Structure 1
């Protein structure tokens, strides 16, 4: 499909620079399969869902994956994207023309990495020196990798270390938060449980590729970056039982959705999963694992807006986003949310 079909005009003042406080005070646009969208709040989820449904969260934890350093006199920035092994990460590099394979970047605080190889997409494999775990080095020299549309408008600060992690964050490895889950609090989870709505977790380590623009003119020419994920066997079994008992599987965030769909077969059975996925969901895709999605509002022409358009229909999502813009909903990672039930 033509990428320009997924474009829309967004006023820059609707880009949220801070999250709602408390987290579950954010607004929620409920978009059903038919009829008009309804203006709600995240705290309305217990009445919008039904007993027997299950919400699926991503328990990845954002690491301080953004580094600033130098190679000689040249300033070099790096955003780690995907772990290769214990000491090597794939990274997007700023000022990459000043960096050659074999050269070493000094990130300060005793943290250095050698540019081991360069990939076709322009990213590098960085091999970190020393014996300390790379995560320890990042805690010392790195900073929270805020999305570029926020980082361009204000500096990262101490609040972001708390605000940009979900309450489910348990497994280090993401360089971007699964932002739909940022809206959840223990009180909201308790209210959902009282309404008979359960929850499960899986792990998908979100990469920096989630922020990359689609440069192709046609969706067929866009290549997704791979991300690593895991669904445990007992989790898969419980999710399959939910559907067998008439409940619905509601993914919280596009990361949870993408991993669930990667793990499901044409028979709609979710299987245990451990490995990379580069699934790219566009209109025409047949969903196999999920019955709904809670997600934030996404960028124009992005793979994530293509995904929600595949779930609900392009015309319906363009109309829903027009409603959200007219209603002054807050967009992107720290913004408001939508509940999409096809």
Structure 2
């Protein structure tokens, strides 16, 4: 299976640089067994059944871009994920200037000790601050995807736009963007339809921005991300499946997490660990029945995942239709509801 199998051409004007307003007015492509159907996100309740269960990711995006000084050298820091011992794995810019034992000064009350320099510009840092998240809020910046150009810097509007309605648990570098489409009104309509919602947490890491660099995709090494599924959520998913309801992850992050937490029989268990699950065509899905997601970048692991879920030919057809029909792509773009092949 080659990387080129997951390539397509997207005109620049199809890349969304701001979300739809209101959020649930975005377009929705229903990719079904009987064809492609053009709708809007607000139509989602009509596509679901009483007893279905939406699984949403409640991670909260942190201002993960930092600028530090090592002597006279300026070092860029992008947080990736927090480790169990309280240190952080990060990606560095100007990493060749950094050695283990160095202290990187971010501001007079916020610094980081370099514990270890890793391959590929990564490092392990231990931050020093009275309150880490308050220090981030003071000195950090949002790490928007590179295809959302902000020559003048991140705006206050972006800070609001790039959080989902569910954002609760701090730790994500990037937003679980399928969740950006949800509004209180849409959640109320889903509840009135008899569709329930449950929450999981997967802290999306900086690795989500990294390209696949091998032509044989089976040789790609997936980045790890920290995830949590509570006993209550696991029980709710299992009870829904037993009762005949469908499990619909909102986004690839929620899907990857519940698939990581499931055993071979599809029973979901409580989960508190890192996952580096890599889903490509040929993967046997154990839990998810439908997937609500955005349109993903060419040659990305997320495009491989949706191709595994809905079928490669169906995804090719859906993306070609979406481009021709003027859908908006990527983080701030439109959505699709995929039926499992």
Structures share fold, TM-score greater than 0.5: yes
Q: Partners in 2 of 1:129 and 1:309 — Cα distance? A: 43
User: Given the two structures, how large is their TM-score scaled by the length of structure 2?
Assistant: 0.96
| Distance (whole Å) between structure 1 residues aligned to residue 70 and residue 296 of structure 2 | 36
Residues 86, 134 of structure 1: 8 Å contact kept: no
Is the contact made by 2:190 and 2:196 (CA closer than 8 Å) also made in structure 1?
yes
Q: After superposition, where does 1:62-141 map in structure 2 within 5 Å?
A: 62-85=61-84, 87-108=86-107, 110-130=109-129, 132-141=130-139
Instruction: State the Cα distance separating 1:99 from its structure 2 match.
Output: 2.2
Q: Answer yes or no: is the 8 Å Cα contact 1:251–1:292 preserved in 2.
A: yes
Distance 2:109 2:334 in 1: 40
Distance 1:40 1:116, change over 3 A: same
Secondary structure of residue in 1 paired with 2:244: coil
Q: Structure 1: which 5+ residue stretches go unaligned? A: none
Q: What does 1:1-342 align with in structure 2 at a 5 Å threshold? A: 1-32=1-32, 34-85=33-84, 87-108=86-107, 110-130=109-129, 132-151=130-149, 155-342=153-340
The alpha carbon displacement at 1:45 in A equals 0.3
Deviations, residues 26-45 of structure 1 (Å, cap 9, x unaligned) = 1111001x232111100000
Instruction: Tell me: CA distance 1:136–1:86, structure 2 relative to 1, closer, same or farther (3 Å).
Output: farther
Q: What is the deviation of 1:272?
A: 1.1
Give how far 1:240 is off.
Answer: 0.8
Please give the TM-score of this superposition, normalised by the length of structure 1. Answer: 0.96
Pairwise CA RMSD = 1.4
> Does the CA contact (< 8 Å) of 1:101 and 1:115 recur in 2?
yes
Deviations 1:219-251 (A, max 9, x none): 121111111111111111111111111110000
Query: More deviation in 200-209 or 107-116?
Result: 107-116
* Change over 3 Å in CA distance of 1:231–1:175 after alignment to 2: same
Secondary structure of the 1:270 match is coil
Structure 2: which 5+ runs fail to align? none
8 Å Cα contact 1:87-1:134 kept in structure 2: no
Counterpart-to-counterpart distance in 2, 1:298 and 1:75? 33
Instruction: Return the alpha-carbon distance in structure 1 between the equivalents of residues 329 and 103 of structure 2.
Output: 38
Q: CA deviation at 1:153?
A: 5.8
Q: In terms of mean alpha carbon deviation, does 148-157 or 75-84 score higher?
A: 148-157
> Structure 1 residue 87: deviation in Å?
4.6
Maintained 8 Å contact 2:93/2:121: no
